[in-house]
Amino acid sequence: MTMINLNEKPNVDKFISSLQDQELIVYEDIEGTKLYIQYNGDRFIIKTKSFKGDELNFVDLAVQKYYNKAFAFFHTLPSYITDILNKNWWFVFEYLPDEISSNIKYKKVPKNNLILTSIVKYNKHKFNYDEIVEYSNLFGVDPIPLIFKGKLTSKQLEVINLFLKTSDDDLKFIFGEDNFAKFFYNILNPSIDNSFLMEDGEYNNNLEKIIIKIDGNDKYTFEILNPMFEKNKDNNMTEHSQIYSLIIINFLEFLQLVNIEKYKPKGLTNDEMYINLICDIFNDYIFNMKEDIEKWDIIIPEFIKKDKFKININLIRNNKTREYIKSNSKIEYIFKIILGSYNKKRKKPIGIMTDNTVELLNNMVVRIKKHIDNLLNINKEYRFKKIDLLNFGEYFNLKTDKDGSGEIYTDIGVQFEDEEKTEITKGKKGKKGTIISKKK
């Protein structure tokens, strides 16, 4: 992928020239969590960030409630929808479980918390807006939010050209009392009187970028960046990383003193058995360490306190662990970190960790995995094919509305207990300009 920065004048001129007389699609970048969804004929596979990455698993769901709504939605879609989905395609969504994203507070959420943004066909991103609308209607979600579709006028191109060539210091005179989003909405489509997911008359005051595509051409993506975009900075992240690593190390020291092999957790899958094993060990850990833990000066980050980031208690089957989690927010926080840290190797240190600590941690991850594999005592791949990885009916008690004939309604309304994002390319944040991205 080749990135060409158009901040420099020659590149801006080239950019403006490339847009002339082209059928364009311009849309607002929505800040959510990117989900890649594929139906394999048996169940939905859900990944984040990339369709080449790891599938979200049972442990990911247990660590936090964040993905509850998305998992519930896809796993309750009726067969007349899933039966017609191409088994080789990945559908790409922006997911917002609520109105709060990392850097923006929206006023509402998209339909069923999802926005369909593109489709990956045979390992290549394909953007066909009419097709996106068709499949968004099929799924019952929002399509990508268009600002403009068609050919830009010479006046519109002139204003965009002026914006790109204006220094950051002088942009306030161009914006006036408006913000970046309103400025481009007014240029491209003044009939729209609010940003997507905002209320009438409101425009996103921290929109990162406007995205431009040539209709029918997947080769290039143009991004006009907001020079005034402000990325949220958590002043407690350094302290959080130190506490995070301290908890991992303290539990690691405890693991050195116990015989892991004596624990015989129950479970049908690797993930289920891992959770049950961690619960069993955690109960002994808290029994021995509770007085010390109560003295720990732990400041829980504010974002962790939000319900969507709390432990998914429905997936914790160990009653004693559930009691500990419910008894104290500090203990819940410690369990959350431990549960998410011992099922995969770490590549580099964090907080007060050293390279030696990472090596010890990774050795323990291997040891835990080996113990679980021995307990399963059968071919793991075979079990995954025969047993649904998530078994939602059992754990979430999912219910769907049905009509008189027993058919499931299209509009799914599943309720739970309350519960980086990239298009195809990504430019530098907070810097004015436009990025052209050429795909391989």
- Domain shared by 73 and 184, yes or no: yes
- Domain shared by 160 and 42, yes or no: yes
Q: Please choose, from the candidates 306, 316, 230, the residue with its C-alpha nearest in 3D space to the C-alpha of residue 265.
A: 316
Question: How many domains does the chain divide into?
Answer: 2
pLDDT at position 132: 94
Confidence of residue 15 (pLDDT cuts 50, 70, 90): confident
Yes or no: say if 319 and 358 are a contact pair by the CB < 8 Å rule: no
Confidence of residue 292 (pLDDT cuts 50, 70, 90): confident
Residue 387 within a domain? yes
The CATH number that applies at residue 68 is 3.30.470.30
pLDDT at position 426: 39
Report how far Cα 135 is from the mean position of its chain's Cα atoms.
20
Q: How many CB atoms lie within 10 A of CB 297?
A: 5
- Per the structure, the complete domain to which residue 300 belongs is given by 237-393
Residue 182 within a domain? yes
pLDDT at position 32: 92
- Domain shared by 218 and 360, yes or no: no
Cβ-Cβ contacts under 8 Å for 431 (sequence gap 6 or more): 7, 225, 227
Residue 411 within a domain? no
Confidence of residue 176 (pLDDT cuts 50, 70, 90): low
Give ∠ CA 34-208-223 in degrees, rounded to 5: 85
pLDDT at position 396: 52
pLDDT at position 1: 30
Distance (Å, whole) CA 36 – CA 45: 8
Average pLDDT of the residues of the chain: 82
The token pair at 244 is 């995070």
12 vs 87 pLDDT, higher one:
87
- Domain shared by 265 and 181, yes or no: no
Residue 175 within a domain? yes
- Domain shared by 217 and 178, yes or no: yes
- Domain shared by 364 and 387, yes or no: yes
Q: With pLDDT > 90 as the criterion, what percentage of the chain qualifies?
A: 49
- Domain shared by 9 and 50, yes or no: yes
Confidence of residue 408 (pLDDT cuts 50, 70, 90): very low
- Domain shared by 166 and 88, yes or no: yes
Residue 335 within a domain? yes
- Position 300 pLDDT exceeds 50: yes
For 49-61, the pLDDT digits (tens) are 889 888 988 899 8
Confidence of residue 233 (pLDDT cuts 50, 70, 90): low
For 305-332, the pLDDT digits (tens) are 888 989 999 899 999 999 999 998 899 9
406 vs 317 pLDDT, higher one:
317
Q: With pLDDT > 70 as the criterion, what percentage of the chain qualifies?
A: 80
Residue recorded with tokens 């060409």: 4
Confidence of residue 10 (pLDDT cuts 50, 70, 90): low
| Minimum mean pLDDT range among 75-84, 200-209, 295-304, 366-375 | 295-304
424 vs 304 pLDDT, higher one:
304
pLDDT at position 290: 82
Residue 25 within a domain? yes
Confidence of residue 238 (pLDDT cuts 50, 70, 90): low
In sequence order, what DSSP letters do the residues of 353-416 get, joined into one string? --HHHHHHHHHHHHHHHHHHHHHH-S-HHHHHHHS-SS-HHHHT-----B-TTSPBPSS-----
pLDDT at position 259: 94
- Position 389 pLDDT exceeds 90: no
pLDDT at position 402: 43
The stretch 1-26 carries a mean pLDDT of: 69
pLDDT at position 189: 94
What pTM was estimated for this model as a whole? 0.78
Q: Which range has the top average pLDDT, 20-29, 161-170, 177-186, 421-430?
A: 20-29
- Domain shared by 218 and 242, yes or no: no
Confidence of residue 436 (pLDDT cuts 50, 70, 90): very low
Q: Indicate the burial class of 157 (C-beta count within 10 angstroms; 0-12, 13-18, 19 or more).
A: middle
- Domain shared by 118 and 215, yes or no: yes
- Position 410 pLDDT exceeds 80: no
Sign of torsion over alpha carbons 63, 114, 394, 54: negative
The stretch 143-152 carries a mean pLDDT of: 94
Instruction: Please give the C-alpha separations between residue 76 and each of 79, 352, 405, in angstroms, as whole numbers.
Output: 9, 43, 17
154 vs 428 pLDDT, higher one:
154
Residue 413 within a domain? no
- Domain shared by 227 and 275, yes or no: no
For 426-435, the pLDDT digits (tens) are 344 444 444 4
- Domain shared by 285 and 380, yes or no: yes
Distance (Å, whole) CA 207 – CA 29: 7
Residue 412 within a domain? no
